[in-house]
Chain A
């Protein structure tokens, strides 16, 4: 079961705007990070400057995803 799922996480303003911090999609529904965004947000337009990570490393939207991956979307970082 769980090995066919991709976990999606949203942080900060994106989490608030989407009203969810975490979602799951089926591996069959996403080949890339951008597919994962579309699947998890009902094809909502992605805000400019959104950063993307797969398994806690920064990637581009065209990066491939597979079952078991954790895909994250978040706005520009503002720590320090």
Chain B
């Protein structure tokens, strides 16, 4: 179980490969569910040129750890990984990687969905979008 906050761009598929190569569950997993969230170039009908992602150092990590432990308790999973960007980013940049490994697919699907939904509603991150002529805080998650 690992959580990481990155203040510079990361490549989710490379990170996934590295993590899985170092993991101690080789041969035990039959399922890996992977979610990657990326920055769009549009939101609410406007062109978005850049985005700034703020977090609450300490509390963000605490809640990502907490939801990872909850998923581990609720489902029979082998491991989970959450990587989330903060700082300045551009359209197409990866924002978040969630991966869950389990023996069978149902647990990996369900636990990864849980991690993403709980991350979005409980982990303290805030997005501020730059539009062509102004910037605005994103007010609610969709």
Which residues of A pack against B, CB within 8 Å?
9, 11-13, 51, 53, 56-58, 72, 74-80
Contact = CB atoms under 8 A, between A and B. Distances in A.
Contact of B58 (A56, A74, A76, A78): A56
B141 A78 contact: yes
B1 to A, nearest CB: 18
Contact of A77 (B95, B96, B116, B122): B122
B109 interface: no
B96 A72 contact: no
The residue in A12, A53, A74, A78 that gathers the most chain B C-beta atoms within 10 A of its C-beta is A78
Please classify how large the interface on chain B is, using the bins under 10, 10 to 19, 20 to 34, 35 or more. 20 to 34
B137 A80 contact: no
22 contacts: A11-B124, A12-B54, A57-B62, A72-B59, A74-B124, A76-B139, A76-B141, A77-B121, A77-B124, A77-B125, A78-B120, A78-B125, A78-B126, A78-B137, A78-B139, A78-B140, A78-B141, A79-B84, A79-B124, A79-B125, A80-B116, A80-B141
Given A11-B126, A12-B126, A79 B59 contact: no
Given A12-B54, A56-B59, A75 B96 contact: no
Nearest to B125: A79
B120 A75 contact: no
A39 to B, nearest CB: 21
Given A78-B141, A79-B55, 18 more contacts: A12-B126, A12-B137, A13-B126, A58-B122, A72-B56, A72-B59, A74-B56, A74-B124, A77-B122, A77-B125, A77-B126, A78-B126, A78-B127, A78-B140, A79-B120, A79-B125, A79-B127, A80-B116
Contacts of B84: 79-80
Contact of A12 (B95, B116, B121, B128): B128
